Structure 1
Amino acid sequence: MPNLVEWFSSLQWDRVLPELVGKSLGFLAGFAASWFLLFRQRLNAIARMQSGDSDDFIFQMHRLWELPHQANECVLLFRNVAPKTTLNDLYDNIAVRDFLKEVAENTSLDNPVLKTEGTLGFEVLNDAMGHIAGLLAITPFKRETWLFVMTCEDRQVVRKKCIRCFLIRPDDLNRFLDWDWCVKHVQVEKPWHWFRIVALHRIACVWKGEQEMAQAESDMARDGDMPLVDRQVRHDRIRMISVGLNDGERPIGDPHRIDWESHVDKLQQLGLTLAKPSAMPERDPEPAEAIAE
């Protein structure tokens, strides 16, 4: 005990106390800053979720289901065909993530296709195609030719803004090229799915342009040309892929005919003049079950 008292008395308290207090305050300040940053990060994550912004990557199949006993009448079906993943999980390169976020922000309902130009865009598109092709390689369904396109729809018309990779048969996408036919003959499972018909119509227009450009390039190409890397500077953003998907999907509930007249103003605000009230079909009355809901 005397030794302990003597040790305490020998300490230079004029130096010990300031150091002890300084280090304690530094520790408390670091702890408070770390807690604040984690708390702020959590608040930002909640705010992003509430605003609809997301880094999710979703793969969706689209098909037109012919309504029985109604000639030339179809219902648009779209279903998720793979587990949801994220931008960070799919691309480990930080620069690629930043590139995708930038091109996603530059999309709109008028042009929902991601502008994946250049060699970097070519590789980004190939990686996404390879991912879904690998996931669907073990399905028991018959393989068919589908079209693959990376999209990000306008935040003004969708609840959740994220990158969606569409899969659709070439024949079905070709039918979406005729906007008058879309307005008159395509129904949906839910009334708010109208924006997906607009997106598919715009994608069909892009596909037609790419086909015409590919044909022009094919006419000018020589058989002896090598597939050089420089060819990736301009590549098709809508690509063909061979996968097997369930062909037995059916509509959920009664289909809805879209009241396009109510969306004319919204489309015009977005810079789209696709439909006119005079060209729109009359709206069918809603089923009694839907009215009750």
Structure 2
Amino acid sequence: MKLHLIDRSTPRDTSFTAKVHEDSNFLKLWHYHPELELVVILKSDGNCFIGDGIEKFEPGDVFLIGKNTPHMWLNQEAYFADDPELVAKSIAIHFKKDFLGDHFFETPEMHHLSELFDRARFGVKFLNLQSEFLETVQTMLSLDGFHKTIAFLNILNTLSSHKDYKLLASSGYMKSFKVKTNKTLDRVYAYIFKNFNKDISLDAVAKIANMNATAFSRLFKRVNGKPFSRYVSEIRIGYACKLLLEEKVNISEVCYEVGFNNISNFNRQFKIIMGCNPSEYIKEHVNSYQEG
């Protein structure tokens, strides 16, 4: 799966774009663009891939994705079955950091928004936003010119002060990612994210990179600071943690859903990465997750 540059540029008569996207499913494409992207999910669910992070999405979720941060929205399989009752719908706002001028967000009064844009390079999911926020975004779509711009600044201001959020991509991935110079590993990352819950062999991934397994292993460890197998395990365990916190499936089901072939290996890798076993993780985190 190739990383694609998508044209999200704005028309000449506006400084940013805000549109409702509605189709049978979201664009299943690993891509990036120089614009930041604010996304509000209105209908459908699935997984979003932002950098090397994997996060579930559902109606009401709000994400901010940074400039040139690779991402993809992948609906559940049911949304690809031509069921007219299933619709994927979202509001997407695309804008550049300097959409109001080269120095507007460098002023002291706008420093907090500049910090928000910096966080966005990791991909941000905002948690527990009030329902009024979604109404504000939808209302903004019907405004024009000056009033629309002021409304959007108010939206960004609200997000900048919202403390309940999570960053999705790792700092290691974003440091290693280069739009123009990392095409070999882009293909590898895209393959991993698409197949993380399946069997992924070193030989198969090395072939995608057009390298032998030994050379690829050296390259991958040098760029990411960890072996390939550890990288894949961290992605799987990270996603397993999300599933465990939701309490919709038991530990054994989670094990196989995230790509492990047996429960003992899953438990072993979980403890290596998280410092505790899955049962201990649930006891420690579920209550605070539900309260949040």
Q: What's the TM-score, normalizing by structure 1?
A: 0.27
Larger Rg: 1
**Larger relative contact order, structure 1 or 2 (CA cutoff 8 Å, min sep 6):** 1
Q: What's the TM-score, normalizing by structure 2?
A: 0.27
